[in-house]
Structure 1
Amino acid sequence: MPKNRARLIGAVAVLVSLPLAVAPPVAASAVEPDYTIKVSPDATGAKISKSMYGVFFEDINYAADGGLYAELVRNRSFEFNATDASGFTGLTAWTVDGSATVVNDDQRLNERNRNYLALNGSVTNAGYNSGIAVQKSDLYDFSVWARGSATLKITLTGAAPLTITTSGDAWRKYTGTLRGTATTDRGRLSVASSAPVKIDEVSLFPRDTYKGRRNGLRADLAEKIAALHPGFVRFPGGCLVNTGSMYPYDAANNYPRARSYQWKDTVGPVETRATNKNFWGYNASYGLGYYEYFQFAEDLGAMPLPVLPALVTGCGQNRATVDEALLRKYIQDTLDLIEFANGPVTSTWGKVRAEMGHPKPFGLTTVAIGNEENLPEEYFANFVKFEDAIKAKYPSITVVSNSGPDDQGGTFENLWAKNKANGSDMVDEHYYNSPAWFLQNNDRYDSYDRNGPKVFLGEYASLDAKFANSLAEAAYMTGLERNADVVKMASYAPLLANIDNVQWKPDMIWFDNDESWGSTSYQMQKLFMNNVGDQVVPSTVSGGGVITPKPVTGAIGLSTWRTAATYDDVKVTRPDGTVLFSDDFSDGNADGWTPVANRGTWTVANGGYAQTTTDTEDTMVKAATITDTDYDYTLTATKQAGAEGFLVAFGIQQTGNFYWWNLGGWNNTQGAVEKGITSAKEQLLTKPNTVTTGQTYHLKIQVRGTKVTLFLDGVEWGSFDDNAVTEPFAQVVTTDAKTGELIVKVVNAQDKAAVTKIDLGGRKVAGSARMTVLAGDPGEQNTRTAEPIQPVTSTIRGVSSSFTREFPANSVTFLRIRTR
């Protein structure tokens, strides 16, 4: 922050680095402070919602089956299919000794549970990860549906065996209990039959689930979530909400294998729930369904926030379903969900809830319609129809709209304008950006309309899993709290990741089959979520400095994404025309180009440089490191075949940072400029765009320091200036009425300590305070083997209405100061 520039802030946050020793108070007269925090003596700021911070659960990274859902048997109902993932079959995770055949005929368990196993011998299940985790002396509840007469011998590694006798030619559920005799994380469950028998829904649950629930949740994961004290639980997604076929289960037509998430598929007895292809590339059993989500939110004392599809796909698919009858069905399904959650036991869906074990209403207050739709016209037309129907029947329900998948751009601006004009209750924003972005945008919500729709920041994270990322998130969160009158809810995402099955990272909580650990961002979120307060106290900070941006320099590159394309006439020149690099590939080779990643097939053909595969992503090659700060990068590009367009990279650094101009992205519907940070990207500019196969496009990227202007066929396509300054020091102050404390939250996201004067506005306060610090090397991560970033809490002395402290480098500090 520029010296002597003050800004209203609502809490203090500082980034601390090693060592973790608590610094003593610094005498005010001994050291000139780097920063001064002044707390308003009497003014009060925004009230903070009880649901300010929550969690977002999406079944990504095997977060449900094999994760939070405590079922230990993988593919328990033999429903896996090649549609779910390449190589999946009805016997995935099972090995056979003897004869075992997956059958789908009219003797099935029920119309939604299509497959069963005709067994004459034994089958063994490997569970998830390396095997089934068994703990000595713990109890495990086994069940199986069987048809036929036989003796089943059930064995579990590290447990006493169990024998079950089946009889009769009708499906019947059989149960038993196994007790662990040894501890292992590589267990196997076997079912051996003395005679031919049909079996289905082979299940094994630890008795020790969260809150002891049957069909319950894995205790250690649920307890880590509970320790956050979330104000809400958003579920079930995410991308899986509105991707895949929008058409529902249809027994007559062997219902589609890749349906969007539909809540009615997920309630009732688990053996009647229809499994489905998960958007993230595996099978979802729906054993963890809407009833279990509501129950979990209730157990946490959190507000449930279900997200329902709006019949417009998102997450890169970008399709709208034009079927009025289907739209009416989805709207009715939404009304039925509210009845399921809140209706009396005499209502149709309230009765279903009661039969599942919860006659008391869940008290649903908020629903969200849609997720990251990138077709604003189609999405919003549908949203208004949902909203009208919900408000007509349930006027007190808050209905959440959204602003697309990005923090800016055409879709974002269009949807925000529509939501403002509509008077929408709340708008869901999503973004995943670099640490620098979060440090540059602390004031994002300062200028939002106080009378417009409220903001739900449903998904956000800094793009990596190091402590530096958590510090940047913490600095940003001080801005969320300062603007608590606008930002009513926020949730880091994703929540969970199975270490052996990762589709997205970073993630908050990691696990394998028997252990779990919190990332550095988990520790940061926990610190904020357990110290929210109930009202902001206006404050200002002055002093310090900023980190200025660097010009866009580095190598140039070419790339494709599931597309074959040809590039030619590549040239980099200074503004005066001096050539810095040129390659027209007329000599038949591409000697100056090297792969950034060994993907795709690059070849020189017909006087151009072609990438010829159509099923490969991120096929970047690079050349010519440009050190000039002002230059023009020109070339031609032609799409030959495939799903998207082409990607032209510039400013490529050895660290993996780069920019690229993405034309014809998102299944050839959007163009963008993206900034790559390690393995992820943030979007700097987006707009609708389509690339025509066979057409040659003339591209020009004009770089002038930090400003970049893009030309498509001689016409300016867009521009951006990556010139935001980074402010490494942030703070906010809140009050906790229950304890009578001020909570001063300070983030110091720089490699030097920050001596800071704290002026509490003349308040009389206790002479000591409780201080909690998260500090460490910004490159540290918490892993399965070591979790170095942990909070350290201590009592400090020397607190007064005006005192000075030194906040360590790369640290976050929370001071809870009792007022008199």
Structure 2
Amino acid sequence: MPTTAPASVAARPRPRRRGRLALLTGALTVALAAPALAAPPAADATDYTLAVDPTRRGPAIDDTMYGVFFEDINRAADGGLYAELVQNRSFEYDRADNASYTPLTSWDTTGSAKVVNDDGRLNARNRSYLSLSGGSSVTNSGYGTGITVRKGERYDFSVWARTDRATALTVTLRDAGGELARARKVAVRGGWTKYTAAFTATRASTTGRLAVAADGPVALDMVSLFPKDTYKGRPNGLRKDLAEKIAALDPGFVRFPGGCLVNTGSHEGYDAASGYQRKRSYQWKDTVGPVEERATNANFWGYNQSYGLGYYEYFQFAEDIGAMPLPVVPALVTGCGQNKATDDPALLKRHVQDTLDLIEFANGPVTSEWGRKRAEMGHPKPFGLTHLEVGNEENLPDEFFARFKEFRAAIEAKYPDVTVISNSGPDDSGTTFDRAWQLNRDAEVDMVDEHYYNSPQWFLENNARYDSYDRNGPKVFLGEYASQDNRFRNALSEAAFMTGLERNADVVKLASYAPLLARTDSVQWRPDMIWFDGRKSWGSTSYEVQKLFMNNTGDRVVPSTASGTPATTAPITGAVGLSTWATSAAYNDVKVTGADGKTLLSDDFSAGDGKWTRAAGRGTWKIEDGAYVQSDTAAEDTLVTAGDPGWQNYDLHVKATKKAGKEGFLVAFGVQDTGNHYWWNLGGWGNTRSAVEKTTGGAKQTLTEDGTKIETGRSYDLDVKVRGRQVTLYLDGKKWGEFTDDAEAEPFRQVVTEDEKTGELIVKVVNAQDTAARTRIDLGTRNVAPTARLTTLQGAPDAENTADATPIAPRTSTLRGIGRQFTYTFPADSVTFLRIKTRG
């Protein structure tokens, strides 16, 4: 990015202005009773300075700075935020979607029961229904261990039913211990009609079952059970505890519905004869209108989604929590590790029109086609859509951008006030990232969405990432980011990084941690912000950090400077290693030579593999035809190592051959152990690119990359030269790349903002080290009150919030002795916010 001095940039007017008064909603009353954190003895502390310059004005911070990103991953929607308790309620599961599925997945039947797909269906989008004979029954087990009910709470049952003659349904809610509520009788007669009943639970259970028994022949569809107590009491609503935890963040925006599920699918379109086709990309029109008329689709993440939680519900939830809605629509170019661009002008034209229709659905008057549809669903007033994103993590930047321009031109022509957001691919750097950014700059795109998931080390090293971004170029939407675990050390590194986001609020206009939700028995991605099971939910350590920042953002940055931690950079040291990832590969002629020419290791494997150490379960290694071969093409991260962890300044030579599998091969250096090393990953990511990755504490970050692909059966000569912190790499004798790993992982970070309404300075300090930081704070020329509100997150770096314990939670108290200058010791491994009232 071109380097220019940071400057304040005028922000687009927002639909609301949110107060930033509370440190942590609901926690303050209890927290005020807690004692202030004791400062460690000065002898154990590191000395720092923090100086605030109130005579200068930093960038304004938009109310929408921090938000949330929702994607239906980890069962975030069905079985999660969407409060429906019945799984596969419309009998639409199918082996075409998931090899383990049948139309009766999550159902048990007795007597004569079969799933039917014929002209007698409920409607065109509900392909299948259940036919029961008299005396038969069907029982649903919900999600996970079963249906969770709470004693004394009400549950609303509904079903669509059809019969040729009058009959009755007996509906029960029970578990292995017996009834959970009094059974209900439902009389059924005639064609497809919706019938309802209500239960009040007489006891609690997490293993409940919903059963429907038929007195006579009957057809059933859309069998449903909802808690009455949904968020805001809405029918077809949201699980209350999850929605409340999201609302407690006070998010400025909600990005939805993804994520990878937006733009990945093998089919498009609707076929009235067979119902909706399988595994198509997410299309918003599938998700609105009466719930029983919405499609069911195969989710990118391997399970089905009912679309009961659809675009109307997303818009409504954003409105309920005072957040800006930010939908993402498919760009007809796959992302998330896939490389396919749809070349169909008619299909592109339809998707562009669908996007225009979406804006009309959100903003149009009730006299318009889609505004009328919104009004019919219960919301005559427009939702006030101002931002919309096209595409997500496309790996083909040129193909994506050609299609993006079609969307942008159409939207700007009809809706010039809507900001159209582009993206920069799936990573924080590399050839795709650079090309995407160049295209976005050249076309003067308003905003670019960046995504990255990296190690805590990377977040500590990259606090200044946005300092050098062009102040006159596209703004940044950091739509997905997280450190690669859910322990407090990860949250600390994210907090340190967030101080840099705020300092650069004139460039970084929107930011959201991702993913948002994870059901414990359906985890496909970690880390996640909020965890839950059928019974309860809890915030991760990262949730607590996000909540602290989001509830205390401030309106403007107040320029400040702080001293740093003395540098401790040392040469790269470590042993060497060989590995594979979903590939079989052969290695030979391994040689390590010191900078003085002395041979440290030489192995042609003629004497076996005795020089190498491998952990149990890491692939299948053995000597074959004079080479060291890993033969399991399903195994990942099969690292074997040799040598001394103290080695430095050496040359590594390896001969490598890919034998079979999806990727190439990996050669490691600077190996301390299996969770701390560098490796040269050739033919990685499905053999789409190559990179050097640094692994720290088991979490990876990319240092340099290109588009090199590896051929099966071809022998490659690999050479790695390590000198101090500089590494140079050669492929078949030609220089492939180089890097210098000298970025400092600064553990002491800070930013100061101002709440203009309350007149408070908000001093935010992250101390991500095991030593306390005794700090001299100079607030400049301001007159200040003698006390401040102090909130601290502090704990062991390995601490993790769970269902049973939340060791990382805010402690809030009053700090006395505040003046223009004062000293405070920030505890080791802590995030501390000081709200200081100014006078005059």
TM-score range, shorter chain: over 0.9
Q: 1:727 aligns with which of 736, 739, 746?
A: 746
Work out whether residues 732 and 744 of structure 1, in 8 Å CA contact, stay in contact via their aligned partners in 2. yes
Question: Is the counterpart of residue 745 in structure 1 residue 794 in structure 2?
Answer: no
Partner amino acid for 1:36?
T
Structure 2 vs 1, CA of residues 152 and 637 (structure 1 numbering), >3 Å: closer, same or farther? same
Structure 2 vs 1, CA of residues 209 and 451 (structure 1 numbering), >3 Å: closer, same or farther? same
Displacement, 1:586? Answer: 3.9
In 2, the alpha carbon distance for the partners of 1:675 and 1:161 equals 60
Structure 2 vs 1, CA of residues 198 and 586 (structure 1 numbering), >3 Å: closer, same or farther? farther
Question: Is the counterpart of residue 116 in structure 1 residue 123 in structure 2?
Answer: no
Q: 1:81 aligns with which of 73, 76, 94?
A: 94
Aligned residues: 801
Partner amino acid for 2:171?
I
In 2, the alpha carbon distance for the partners of 1:752 and 1:686 equals 35
Question: Is the counterpart of residue 62 in structure 1 residue 65 in structure 2?
Answer: no
Show the counterpart of 1:264: 285
Work out whether residues 597 and 619 of structure 1, in 8 Å CA contact, stay in contact via their aligned partners in 2. no
In 2, the alpha carbon distance for the partners of 1:626 and 1:814 equals 40
Question: Is the counterpart of residue 301 in structure 1 residue 314 in structure 2?
Answer: no
Q: 2:588 aligns with which of 568, 581, 584?
A: 568
Show the counterpart of 2:116: 103
Q: Which one is further off, 626-635 or 808-817? A: 626-635
Work out whether residues 580 and 664 of structure 2, in 8 Å CA contact, stay in contact via their aligned partners in 1. no
TM-score, scaled to structure 1: 0.94
Larger relative CO (CA 8 A, sep 6+): 1 or 2? 1
Show the counterpart of 1:129: 144
Q: String of CA shifts for 1:494-542, please: whole Å, max 9, x gaps.
A: 1111111111111111000010001111111101100001011111112
Show the counterpart of 1:150: 167
Q: Which one is further off, 31-40 or 796-805? A: 31-40
Q: Which one is further off, 354-363 or 189-198? A: 189-198
Structure 2 vs 1, CA of residues 536 and 643 (structure 1 numbering), >3 Å: closer, same or farther? same
Q: 2:307 aligns with which of 286, 296, 299?
A: 286
Q: Which one is further off, 80-89 or 58-67? A: 80-89
Displacement, 1:616? Answer: 4.1
SS in 1 for 2:261: helix
SS in 1 for 2:421: strand
Work out whether residues 41 and 762 of structure 1, in 8 Å CA contact, stay in contact via their aligned partners in 2. yes
Q: String of CA shifts for 1:594-620, please: whole Å, max 9, x gaps.
A: 444625444433333333344444344
Q: String of CA shifts for 1:256-308, please: whole Å, max 9, x gaps.
A: 32111111111111222211111111111111111111111000100001111
Question: Is the counterpart of residue 671 in structure 1 residue 686 in structure 2?
Answer: no
TM-score, scaled to structure 2: 0.92
For 1:243-262, what aligned pairs fall within 5 Å after superposition? 243-245=264-266, 247-252=268-273, 255-262=276-283
Which sections of structure 1, spanning at least 5 residues, go unmatched?
1-6, 14-19
Displacement, 1:47? Answer: 0.4
Q: 1:581 aligns with which of 597, 601, 607?
A: 601
Q: String of CA shifts for 1:156-179, please: whole Å, max 9, x gaps.
A: 1212211112122x3221111111
For 1:265-414, what aligned pairs fall within 5 Å after superposition? 265-414=286-435
Q: Which one is further off, 680-689 or 800-809? A: 680-689
Q: Which one is further off, 646-655 or 731-740? A: 646-655
In 2, the alpha carbon distance for the partners of 1:142 and 1:271 equals 14
Structure 2 vs 1, CA of residues 38 and 530 (structure 1 numbering), >3 Å: closer, same or farther? same
In 2, the alpha carbon distance for the partners of 1:173 and 1:789 equals 47
Structure 2 vs 1, CA of residues 743 and 462 (structure 1 numbering), >3 Å: closer, same or farther? same
SS in 1 for 2:472: coil
In 1, the alpha carbon distance for the partners of 2:571 and 2:227 equals 55
Show the counterpart of 1:3: none
Work out whether residues 557 and 753 of structure 2, in 8 Å CA contact, stay in contact via their aligned partners in 1. yes
Q: Which one is further off, 46-55 or 705-714? A: 705-714
Show the counterpart of 1:816: 835
Q: 1:700 aligns with which of 691, 710, 719?
A: 719
In 1, the alpha carbon distance for the partners of 2:322 and 2:139 equals 39
Work out whether residues 603 and 610 of structure 1, in 8 Å CA contact, stay in contact via their aligned partners in 2. yes
Work out whether residues 48 and 484 of structure 1, in 8 Å CA contact, stay in contact via their aligned partners in 2. yes
Question: Is the counterpart of residue 799 in structure 1 residue 818 in structure 2?
Answer: yes
In 1, the alpha carbon distance for the partners of 2:185 and 2:590 equals 73
SS in 2 for 1:188: strand
In 2, the alpha carbon distance for the partners of 1:555 and 1:517 equals 41
Work out whether residues 129 and 220 of structure 2, in 8 Å CA contact, stay in contact via their aligned partners in 1. yes
Question: Is the counterpart of residue 138 in structure 1 residue 153 in structure 2?
Answer: yes
Question: Is the counterpart of residue 775 in structure 1 residue 794 in structure 2?
Answer: yes
Work out whether residues 7 and 506 of structure 2, in 8 Å CA contact, stay in contact via their aligned partners in 1. no
Show the counterpart of 1:4: none
Displacement, 1:799? Answer: 0.8
Question: Is the counterpart of residue 684 in structure 1 residue 698 in structure 2?
Answer: no
Work out whether residues 7 and 59 of structure 2, in 8 Å CA contact, stay in contact via their aligned partners in 1. no
Displacement, 1:743? Answer: 0.8
SS in 2 for 1:297: helix
SS in 2 for 1:730: strand
Partner amino acid for 1:22?
A
Q: String of CA shifts for 1:620-672, please: whole Å, max 9, x gaps.
A: 44444453112222222223333332233333333622322222223322112
The Cα RMSD (Å) is 2.3
Structure 2 vs 1, CA of residues 615 and 85 (structure 1 numbering), >3 Å: closer, same or farther? farther
Q: String of CA shifts for 1:326-370, please: whole Å, max 9, x gaps.
A: 111111111111111111112111111111111111100000111
Partner amino acid for 1:45?
G
Q: Which one is further off, 616-625 or 525-534? A: 616-625
Q: String of CA shifts for 1:392-425, please: whole Å, max 9, x gaps.
A: 1111111111111111111111111111111110
Q: 1:22 aligns with which of 12, 15, 36?
A: 36
Show the counterpart of 2:646: 627
Work out whether residues 36 and 814 of structure 2, in 8 Å CA contact, stay in contact via their aligned partners in 1. no
Show the counterpart of 1:535: 556
In 1, the alpha carbon distance for the partners of 2:754 and 2:150 equals 44
SS in 2 for 1:474: helix
Show the counterpart of 1:186: 207
Displacement, 1:788? Answer: 1.0
In 2, the alpha carbon distance for the partners of 1:378 and 1:354 equals 37
Displacement, 1:577? Answer: 4.4
Partner amino acid for 1:114?
R
In 2, the alpha carbon distance for the partners of 1:418 and 1:152 equals 61
Displacement, 1:678? Answer: 4.8
Work out whether residues 296 and 307 of structure 2, in 8 Å CA contact, stay in contact via their aligned partners in 1. yes
In 1, the alpha carbon distance for the partners of 2:596 and 2:125 equals 70
Work out whether residues 44 and 772 of structure 2, in 8 Å CA contact, stay in contact via their aligned partners in 1. no
In 1, the alpha carbon distance for the partners of 2:216 and 2:698 equals 53
Q: Which one is further off, 647-656 or 98-107? A: 647-656
Work out whether residues 564 and 748 of structure 2, in 8 Å CA contact, stay in contact via their aligned partners in 1. no
In 2, the alpha carbon distance for the partners of 1:73 and 1:789 equals 34
Structure 2 vs 1, CA of residues 116 and 713 (structure 1 numbering), >3 Å: closer, same or farther? same
Partner amino acid for 2:265?
G
Displacement, 1:694? Answer: 2.4
SS in 2 for 1:411: helix
In 1, the alpha carbon distance for the partners of 2:352 and 2:137 equals 47
SS in 2 for 1:34: strand
Instruction: Provide the identity percentage.
Output: 64
Structure 2 vs 1, CA of residues 200 and 745 (structure 1 numbering), >3 Å: closer, same or farther? same
Displacement, 1:795? Answer: 1.1
Structure 2 vs 1, CA of residues 779 and 249 (structure 1 numbering), >3 Å: closer, same or farther? same
SS in 1 for 2:308: coil
Show the counterpart of 1:514: 535
Structure 2 vs 1, CA of residues 167 and 23 (structure 1 numbering), >3 Å: closer, same or farther? closer
Work out whether residues 34 and 543 of structure 1, in 8 Å CA contact, stay in contact via their aligned partners in 2. no
Q: String of CA shifts for 1:439-484, please: whole Å, max 9, x gaps.
A: 1111111111111111111111111111111111111111111111
Structure 2 vs 1, CA of residues 597 and 689 (structure 1 numbering), >3 Å: closer, same or farther? farther
Partner amino acid for 1:640?
K
Work out whether residues 40 and 772 of structure 2, in 8 Å CA contact, stay in contact via their aligned partners in 1. no
Partner amino acid for 1:151?
A
